[in-house]
Amino acid sequence: MQKIFSWGGGKIIEIELPGFEDWVPELFEQFEKSRSTAKKSHKIGGRWENLYIDIDEVPAARNPIRMGRDFGLEILEVSSVVLFEPLRGCDHAYPPFWFNLAEPGESTGLHDHALNSKLCGVFYLAAENDSGNLFFHKEGEVDLEIMPKVGKLVLFEPWMRHGVRENRSNITRLSMAFNLFPFPLPIENL
């Protein structure tokens, strides 16, 4: 399954990653084993928005990120590079991928990823109906909503404002988000 949306002056890809059934359980298990060691960047509305875990603790996270890079090049013709450590010169010391847990009743506010990145992605590891749609918002446009589903990857341009609706299901939604960077990297970041 693959969908491409032209929306708000940009493009959004929704795709079910091939073979996700083979490695999502492993990634989920790696996350569960490592989640107590996660670094947290900011708390909003009583919950930690982003959970950062070192790639050595969640090596299966390489799968959706690399596939995102490849589909970004193939479908959107965006050349990008995958980083698993913070970009040198970046304003924070966190890696450019993170996990988001949303318990029933929780949501994620409107934001973008514009600083330094070329392409952004979100991948779902645990989700069901009513666990909170990803939505894109732009003044003067009708919001675009994408329903989460295990194995689904959504790629979008970093300037696009987005958020996540309230989780109205009975399960905890788990997603992994990431940023991809321009290729080649600016020389000052090498």
Tell me the average pLDDT across 47-74: 93
d(CA 91, CA 102): 26
pLDDT at 91 over 70: no
Averaged confidence pLDDT in the chain? 90
171 by Cβ neighbours in 10 Å (0-12 / 13-18 / 19+) ranks as middle
**CA angle at residue 173 from 167 to 179, to 5 degrees?**
110
Closest C-alpha among 118, 115, 116, 155 to residue 136: 155
DSSP 56-86: TT-GGGHHHHHHHHHHHHHHH---EE--SSP
pLDDT reported for residue 109:
86
Place of tokens 């194995």: 151
pLDDT in tens, 7-27: 999 999 999 999 999 999 999
